[in-house]
Structures are given as structure tokens and as C-alpha cells.
Structure 1
Amino acid sequence: MTDVLDTPTTAAPEPQVRDRADVRRQVKLVVVLALVLLAEVWFKLQIDDPTVYQLFKGARSKDNLPVEFDGTAVSWIAVALTAVALLLAVVNRYPRGWAGVLIAVVVGIGFYGAFLMWAYADPSGTFAPAMTNPIPGTIRIATALVFGALAGVLCERAGVVNIAIEGQFISGAFFGSVFSSFAFVSLGAIPVFWCPVFGLLGGILAGMGVAAMLAFFALRYHVDQVVVGVVLVAFGYGITSFLLGQIPDGREDQFNNPELLQAVDIPVLVDIPYLGTALFGQNLLVYLAYLSVPAVWFLLFQTRWGLRVRSVGEHPKAADTVGIAVNRTRWQAVLLGGLFAGLGGASFTLSTGAFDKEMTAGLGFISLAAVIMGRWHPVYAALAALMFGFLRNLKDQLSILDEKVPGDLLSALPYLATIIAVAGFVGRVRAPAADGQPYQKTD
């Protein structure tokens, strides 16, 4: 009897209270995935003839002929994948971290496939358009966005808001064209290959020049950094339009006819089916973008200089206390960011042709959105830039399908994604604590 009385009783477990953020996350996932699932089902039910044509191998392929296939399986696989993800979200088993990102990517690819099946099926006329590989166009557009995103990451990690990426883009595009054109005409003895290199130098100098003005007013005179950035964007557009108008008639070849960067194939890798030419048959700027992302990551997170940059962006007073020159470090980060933004601007003219006063088309602001969506991390920001490049390329690819997909809606896709990004839909993001805050040393 005593043993029975002395036996401790096990208390009933208290019910766990879920965090509000976790509940919001689940609701958001369920709503989004449900909408995606409904859209995919609608896409499939709207198809009468599922026969579509694809030309994914690219124009440089030896057997460059459209391939006919039935898109039914693609549509239903997309529906199944989204349904599984929705079920995980409903029972609150949708994973976090890389596993969750991977599921989101798979669902996104499935949605893209279902959308393409609907868009290219049931052609209305005698012409049946073929789906083409989206990777080359995405890389071409995203190159400038990646450089701009890296510029934004470097500046904001140091505590300087860089709204002026668009101004650096337009300036780099103009001076990249001028330097390349002038080298081709005036230095005819040098190999043609070096003319675009001079263009890259012009873009770098222009980008760093605008960056120097941003640093001068923001760090030296403590002018509001957002205001300075907006003014520098207007200045970039104004000065390049003025200088373009000063080119005499008949002298365009000397000042605005850049020698384009030529594609350079990387042996072995270029032979990979479907991906090789798209990724490894590109020009020098694309390869520089590939290398710049890990390089900036290494600088920020694996070097003493990167630690100093991050410290002055998070707690400049503490950094000053241990002997770090806050404003000098910020100057360095802003100028290095200007170098990358100038390369991004030069890509507009050295990859496509003559400078036009509105050719950057607001992509600098999309680069800034990629910085926010990428949580001020160089790798994530580059991935966000790729996503924006993909959406912009999608608009170009589907422009021939205006009867099914309104062209105005396609044109708005990158900007809708930008609004979603800056509105915090990607989750709670935190900028560097001292971002946008000037620092003045006190005794």
C-alpha cells in the first residue's frame, strides 16, 4: 500500500502553443499553394489538343528542328507535385530551410511547365510556335541584375543604402559604349578583341564615379542616402542624354557603335545537352558574373576586410571603438560596389549594341529588390536576380502568344515580383542595423 502511495504520478503534458509567426507562415503557404494548384488544374482543363512543340536544344544545335510531344503528363505531374506540397502545408509538415526552398523550386518548375503547356497548346492560326530554351535569355538579362545586386549587397552591408544602382547602370552603359567605340576607331592597330575590354573599363569608371558621388554626399556631408540615390539616378539619365545629344551627326561610329563581346565556348562543358551552350557558350561578362558571386561571398564572410564591412554596417560605434575606420571602410565598400554596377551597365551596350537613353529600363531598381529578396546575402541576391531575369525573359518568349497571354500582363511580371519581394512576402527580413545611418566620430 505504501509503495502505491509513494509512486509519483506523471503529469499530463501541457498543450504546446504555436508561435504567431509559424501560424502566419502556414496560412500563407496554404493560400499560395492552393492558388497555384487551382491555376494548374485550370490550365489543364482549358487544353483541347495537348500537342506542343519544343526547341530546347537552341539555335546552335545540329538538329535544330522542333520536336512534337504530348504535354498531358507534364500538366498532371505539376498538379501532383503541388498537391503534395499543399498537403504538407495543411498538416503543418512543410519543411524549413533548404528542404523547403527545394520543394518551392520544384513546385515553381511544375507550375512553369503547366503554364507553358497551356500557352503553347491549341494554336489559333496555321503557325504553331515552339517552346524555346529559356536559359540563354535568362542569363543574358540576369547578368546586369546580378552585378547590380552585388553592388547593392556590398553597399548595404557597409551601412549605405544604394538607390543609385540605376544611375550607375545607365552611366556604365553609355561610357562602356563610348570607350569601346573610340578604341575601335582610334586604336585600329590593336586587336578587335581588346575594344570591348576598353568598354568594360569605361563602364567601371562610370560606375565608380557615381559611387564616389554617393559616398561623398552620404558619408562626408551626411545627406539622406535615399534622396542622394534618387538624385543620382536622375543625374545619370540627364547627363547621358545630354552627352548622347552632343555626338555630332555622322560621328556615331566613333562614339556610339561599340564592338560587342564575342561568345567564348568553354571546352567540354559547352557540349552538355540543353545546358552547355546556354551556360558555357557565353561572353566574358557572363563568366565574370559567375565568378563575382563566390568572390563577393568570400570577401564578405571569409576575410578580415569583410568582417570590418559587416561590423560598420551593424554597429559602427562598436567598430570605431576597436579601431576600425568606419567611413573609410564604407568608402571602400561603396566604390567596390560601383565597380560591379559599372560592369552591369556596360553589359547593356557591350552585349547588345549602341547606347539608347532608356535602355536600362529600371533594372537597377529590380536589382535593389533582389538585394532585399536575397536577404542582403550575395548568393541569395544573385539567385533572386536570376528569378527576375527569368520573368523578364518569359515576357519576351511569350510575346508571340498575345492572344492567350496579354502582353501588358507579361510586361508587368517583373515589377509584380518586385512588389512581392519588397513587401516582405519572402519572409521576415532584416537589413543591417546601421543601414542608411550616417556615422560621425565623437570624442
Structure 2
Amino acid sequence: MSFFEILTIIIPSTLLTAAPLIFTSLGGMFSERSGIVNIGLEGLMAVGAFAAAVSTLGLEHSGLGDASPWIAILIAGAVGGLFSLIHAVVSISFRADQTVSGVALNFLAAGLTIFLVKLIFDGKGQTPYITHNIDKVDIPGLAKIPFLGPLFFQQVAYTSYIAILIAILCWFIVYKTPFGLRLRSVGEHPAAADTLGISVIKMRYIGVLLSGVLGGIGGAVYLVTITSNYNVTTIAGQGFLALAALVFGKWHPIGAMGASLFFGFAQALSITSQQIPYLDRLPSVFMLIAPYVLTLIVLTGFVGRAEAPKADGVPYIKGQR
């Protein structure tokens, strides 16, 4: 097998596995840029995946066919946004510890979704498999470009390119718009932002809400492109990888996207290793743990150099500096 053939296996798989991480890490970026630590990304993805599974199954029976998973992604985003309000109320209004609140969100999501699965599907521990996925396709026209076509435009899901476009859009919003300036100001110096008439509470609620919407979409994309059904192990640490990508990307939209692609590459290697010479000789368990080992190595080497927004994790009390 040539090196080019290996790339045609790994790169499309990287784009596929990175898309959910991109959406979710971008959601975490909005929350933490506003000053609210959100460790609950895992829970938001779980809620989004559950909502996508149930919605797709229901929409399929309604005769919507191939449109079902796309509508389900939007529904999952709305559900994720609503679920994130729990974290917003506890962290912003009640000024509770944001780390504890995020951990509680993860536990709540895991327990609640499985309870609802058993309630809806007659005691079963998982949902039925959806029949309408978002499949890999060849992009018309672009797939025939020499060299680049087979690497980037053949056997890819549209969600991968949507995720990259959303990352660029988020960069523009955060760094080129008045909204983005206000969001960053309440995460860096909320007291100063307050004196300028910016509502710190409102901006932080918006940041957490956006994290819920994008986290729910990330979980939905993972379900409709990769797993096809929901159970307690569906997300299996993807939210924590997205959180690691956010930190590795230094709380920057493009950085988070790049880190998500890196972790997507690590996961792609574990998935495709049996098709790649030399890697197929390694014990499969080595490749399965590779993404998480790389996460530890990367965070150990780079977190010390990454600076979070200065007010990240600090509850704001009006009148206090």
C-alpha cells in the first residue's frame, strides 16, 4: 500500500471523527470566553446524541426520509441549549462552583438519558438503530481534482465541512463583531465591562446557552454520522476530548478546530489501523487508547503555556472588583 493510499484512508476518517469535536469545543469556547467554566461538555453531547436518536427515529416514521437526521441535529441543538441552562442558573445566578456544576451536569445527562431510553423503548438499554444516517459522499466536481480530490472530497460527510465553516464563522463573531468584544470583555474583566453598560449576567447566559446548542449539535453529529444509536457508552469521552481540544487550542475558535482535527486524526488511526501496514501488527488495545494517551501528552506539554480568560471560573458579584 502506497503512502498516498494510506492518506486516502486516514484523512477522510479524520474529518469524520473531528466534526463532533469541533462543534463541541466551539461551544465550550463561547462559555469560557464569557467567564464560565464548562466541564459539562460530555453531558451536553450525551443529551444531544439522545435527542438526535429519538428525533431521527420519530421523523423516519413520519416519512421525512433523508431529511430526518438533519432536522434531528437542529432539535438536538435546541435540547442541548435548554439543558445547558441548568449549568447557567447554578453557576451564574446562584454563583455555585462551576467545576462541580459541570461534573453534576455530566452525571445528570448520563442518568437521565438512559432512564428516558428505558422509559421510551420498553426497558431496553439502547435505542434502535436509525436507518437514515448522514453518509459519506463524494463531493460533486471537487472529488475529481487530482491528488486533493481523493484526500479531501471523496468519502466525506457534509457535516465535516459545515463544522469547519462554523469554526471560521465563530472566529469572525468573537473577534470581529461588537457581540464578540462584549463576550470577551466579560470573561476578561467583568467589572470593567459592567461599568461600560454591558450586562455581565446576560452575556454569560448567552455564552453558556451557545455552548449547549453547539454541544448538543456535536453529540447529534456523532450519532448520525458514526454510531447510529444511543446507549450509555455512545459518547464515551468525546466531550472530554472536546474540552482538551479547547484548552490545547488556547480558547481560540481556529485553535480549537485545529486541535479537534488533531484528536480526530488520533481517533482515525485507531479506527483504520487494521487497514494500514505495520499498524495492523500492533495490539488493537494500543490503538484504542492512543487518542487518550496523546491527549495527556499534549495537555502536559501545552497547558502550562495556555492562558484561560482571566475571569474564567470566577463568579461575578455586581459592585465587587
Local SS of the residue matching 1:425: helix
CA contact (8 A) 1:178 1:256 kept: no
CA drift of 1:55 comes to 7.8
Q: What residue number does 1:156 align with?
A: 32
- How far apart, CA to CA, are the structure 1 residues paired with 2:242 and 2:273? 23
Q: Say if 1:427 and 1:253 are closer, same or farther in 2 by CA, change over 3 A.
A: closer
1:297 is aligned to 2:174 = no
- One-letter amino acid of the counterpart of residue 306, structure 1: G
In 1, distance between residues paired with 2:130 and 2:168? 33
Question: Does the 8 Å CA contact 1:166/1:364 hold for their aligned counterparts?
Answer: yes
Q: What corresponds to 2:153 in structure 1? A: 280
Residue of structure 1 equivalent to 2:319: 442
Higher relative contact order (CA 8 A, sep 6+): 2
> How has the CA–CA distance of structure 1 residues 176 and 54 changed in structure 2, closer, same or farther, with 3 Å as cutoff?
same
Residue pairs, 1:18-417, within 5 angstroms: 53-54=1-2, 56=4, 133-185=9-61, 187-188=62-63, 190=64, 192-249=65-122, 257=130, 259-263=132-136, 265-281=138-154, 282-352=156-226, 353-399=228-274, 404-417=281-294
Q: Could you tell me which amino acid in structure 2 is paired with residue 272 of structure 1?
A: I
Q: Give the TM-score, by structure 2 length.
A: 0.90
Report which of the two has the higher share of helix. Answer: 2
Secondary structure, in 3 states, of the residue corresponding to 1:216? helix
Letter of the 1:359 partner, please give it.
T
SS in 1 for 2:2: strand
CA-to-partner distance for each residue in 1:356-386, whole Å, 9 max, x for gaps? 2211110111111111111111101110111
Change beyond 3 A, Cα 1:264–1:289: same
| Number of positions where the alignment pairs a residue of Structure 1 with one of Structure 2 | 316
The one of 409, 415, 419 equivalent to 2:296 is 419
Residues 45 and 218 of structure 2 are in contact (CA less than 8 Å); yes or no, is this contact kept in structure 1? yes
CA separation of 1:357 and 1:304: change in aligned 2, threshold 3 A: same
Pick closer, same or farther for the CA change 1:255–1:398 going to 2, 3 Å: closer
CA distance in 2, matches of 1:133, 1:270: 15
Contact 2:32–2:309 (8 Å) recurs in 1: yes
Distance 2:100 2:233 in 1: 21
Per the alignment, do residues 254 and 428 of structure 1 end up closer, same or farther by CA in structure 2, a change over 3 Å counting?
closer
The structural deviation recorded for 1:409 is 2.4
Q: Deviations over 1:284-320 (max 9, x none)?
A: 3223202111100000000000000000000000000
Superimposed CA distance per residue, residues 151-210 of structure 1 (whole angstroms, 9 cap, x where no aligned partner)? 11111111111101100111101110111110110x22x4x2321122112211221122
CA contact (8 A) 2:194 2:200 kept: yes
How far apart are residue 408 of structure 1 and its match?
2.4
TM-score by structure 1 length? 0.66
Give percent identity, aligned residues only: 37
CA contact (8 A) 1:171 1:206 kept: yes
Stretch deviating more after TM superposition (346-355 or 297-306): 346-355
For 2:230 and 2:109, how far apart are their aligned partners in 1?
13
SS at match of 2:302: coil
Letter of the 2:15 counterpart:
I
Shift of 1:279: 2.8
Choose from 289, 294, 305 the match for 1:428. 305
CA pair 288-372 structure 1, distance change in 2 beyond 3 A: same
Q: 1:145 to 1:132 in 2, by over 3 A?
A: same
Structure 1 residues without counterparts, runs of 5 or longer:
1-52, 58-129
> After superposition, what is the alpha-carbon deviation per residue over 1:370-427, rounded to whole angstroms, capped at 9, x for unaligned?
1111111110111011111111111122246677423222222211222223324366
User: In structure 2, do the counterparts of structure 1 residues 324 and 377 end up closer, same or farther at CA, with 3 Å as the change threshold?
Assistant: same
Change (3 A) 1:315 1:426: closer
CA apart distance, 1:250: 11
Separation of aligned partners in 1, 2:46 and 2:88: 18
CA distance in 2, matches of 1:226, 1:423: 20
Deviation for aligned residue 1:336: 1.4
Q: Residues 404 and 237 of structure 1: is their aligned pair in 2 closer, same or farther, counting only changes over 3 Å?
A: same
